Amino acid sequence: MESAREFIVHLQGRRVRHEHNPFVTNKEGTLSSSYIQGFARASRAFSTWLHVEGYTNTNVLKPLKPPRIQRKVVQVLTEEESGRILAHLDQDDPFGARNYAIVWTMLDCGLRASELCGLRTEDARIDKGYLKVLGKGNKERLVPIGGRTQTILARWRDCFRPQFLDDESRYLFLGSSGHPLTPSSLSVPTVRPPSAPSGHSSRCIRRRDRAQW
């Protein structure tokens, strides 16, 4: 039991991420609390298995309490940073208008990438001021949108989206081929203005956008 606790303390004090791993290049940095908790839970599960299978007389690590996961406050874009990203997008260009609508919707609603890509035209109740979103666990929820978002989305849908249509796609946001966007196709750094701070990619708009898909 004491050895297990000492091991957890050792992990919490480590300053190298891939210690003694010949297959991965060592990187300086502390281990995350969720990573350390995973070790503790795996050790306790192994101890339980040893006891159930009769290899040990008692479950020696049953009293072991995994360390708590540290909850960090997510850094969000400032108003100035958001404005600089939006200013980089040409609203009179079909791709720029689409990307502007994507970024603005993310800023207004905080949708996940998968939720935004999965939006269908019938789910975007723009005139009524809300989006019907299919989220985690296949659960639907209604997300209100502001007046400015309504205007931007309606402009994209009515003026520019028809230029992307290869067939009758039901999805609100489309790529250059006329097919719906995918979460992997969205990326913040590619829309970051040249003068924008490099830290944008790790901050929230939490969901991501790309300049030319």
**Do residue 112 and residue 189 come from a single domain?**
yes
Is the pLDDT assigned to residue 207 strictly greater than 50?
no
**Do residue 31 and residue 89 come from a single domain?**
no
pLDDT of residue 167: 61
Domain count, the chain: 2
Is 120 strand, coil or helix? Answer: strand
Chain segment 99-125, per-residue pLDDT in tens: 999 999 988 888 888 999 999 999 999
pLDDT of residue 53: 93
Residues in the chain: 213
Residue 84 belongs to what domain range? 79-202
Please check whether residue 62 lies inside any domain of the structure. Answer: no
Closest CA to 64 of 147, 126, 6, 122: 6
**Do residue 32 and residue 97 come from a single domain?**
no
Pure H helices in the chain: 2-13, 33-52, 79-87, 94-109, 113-117, 147-155
Please check whether residue 58 lies inside any domain of the structure. Answer: no
Please give the Cα distance from 24 to 13 (Å, whole number): 20
Mean pLDDT of 6-33: 83
Q: What is the domain-level CATH number for residue 87?
A: 1.10.443.10
The pTM for the full model equals 0.60
Please check whether residue 132 lies inside any domain of the structure. Answer: yes
Please check whether residue 11 lies inside any domain of the structure. Answer: yes
Mean pLDDT of 130-137: 88
Highest mean pLDDT among 7-16, 50-59, 161-170: 50-59
* Contact present, 85 and 196 (Cβ < 8 Å): yes
**Do residue 162 and residue 123 come from a single domain?**
yes
**Do residue 45 and residue 133 come from a single domain?**
no
Mean pLDDT of 174-183: 86
Q: How far is CA 165 from CA 86, 122, 172, in A?
A: 25, 16, 11
**Do residue 91 and residue 147 come from a single domain?**
yes
